[in-house]
Structure 1
Amino acid sequence: MAADNVKGHLDSLLLAVLEDGPLHGYAVIEAMQRRSGGELNLPTGTVYPALRRLETAGYLQGRWSTVGGRRRRTYSLTAVGRRALSERRTEWLRFSGAIQRVLGGTAR
């Protein structure tokens, strides 16, 4: 699936992946790929700037750690991020339902 297909939804997807607990940047990419059944394989150049943007907006909190001699940033959801995720899920359900009704091919 092309990265363009997630435009407008990337932030919501990242928040959802981090809902289960803190992850470092590359682990976020791996979790998204795993949870999507391999359909979403987003490049680091897309994910890392989005993580920083979400941190700046207050949705995520990042912490530096050193593992195996390498520094990495681990991200976790803030309370504001959890509320935003809840709101975005509600919007997604409404939006995806409307799209399904149109693309589903059945008149209502």
Structure 2
Amino acid sequence: MANSMEFDGVLDKMRQELRRGAIVLAVLGQLREEHYGYSLRKALEAQGLPMDEGTLYPLIRRLQTQGLLDSEWRVESNRKKRFYRLNELGRLILTALIDEWQQMNATIQRIVGD
């Protein structure tokens, strides 16, 4: 029988694996509206998906490198901020990923039950 510490450790690792793909989908979905890093983090948190900067900023950079985001530097409140938004390719990818997510979710619901 597993002890509580062993259970908690395994559960934490499994949660991280489960969140990894979901976070990409959530960030893309949130970036249908323009955000800079901090506002994106706060918007995700307000909807129940807290994320630390060490996870969010590398993900944003990767999505931009993959050609899914447009960005621009602007001064707001006397601070220079980089704003991000989905571009056309990003919107197409998001739509395709939402379809994949819904199909996968339906399949998993059939497998694990209600």
For Structure 1 versus Structure 2, the TM-score category normalised by the shorter chain is 0.7 to 0.9
TM-score of the superposed pair, with normalisation by structure 2: 0.80
Q: CA deviation at 1:101?
A: 1.4
Aligned to 1:54: 63
1:9 aligns to what SS in structure 2? Answer: helix
- Which structure's relative contact order is higher, taking Cα pairs within 8 Å and 6+ residues apart? 1
Say how many residue pairs are matched: 100
Deviation track 1:45-94 (CA, whole Å, cap 9, x = no partner) reads 10011111111111001111122222211101100000000000000000
Equivalent position to 1:26, from 32, 35, 38: 38
Equivalent position to 2:96, from 87, 91, 99: 87
Higher Cα radius of gyration:
2
Deviation track 1:17-42 (CA, whole Å, cap 9, x = no partner) reads 111x211111111111222xx2x111
1:8 aligns to what SS in structure 2? Answer: helix
Aligned to 2:20: 7
Establish whether residue 45 from structure 1 lines up as the match of residue 59 from structure 2. no
Q: 5+ residue gaps in structure 2?
A: 1-11
More deviation in 9-18 or 43-52? 9-18
CA-atom RMSD in angstroms:
1.5
> How far apart, in 1, do the equivalents of 2:22 and 2:68 lie?
15
Q: Percent identity?
A: 32
> How far apart, in 2, do the equivalents of 1:12 and 1:45 lie?
17
Establish whether residue 103 from structure 1 lines up as the match of residue 108 from structure 2. no
Q: CA deviation at 1:11?
A: 1.9
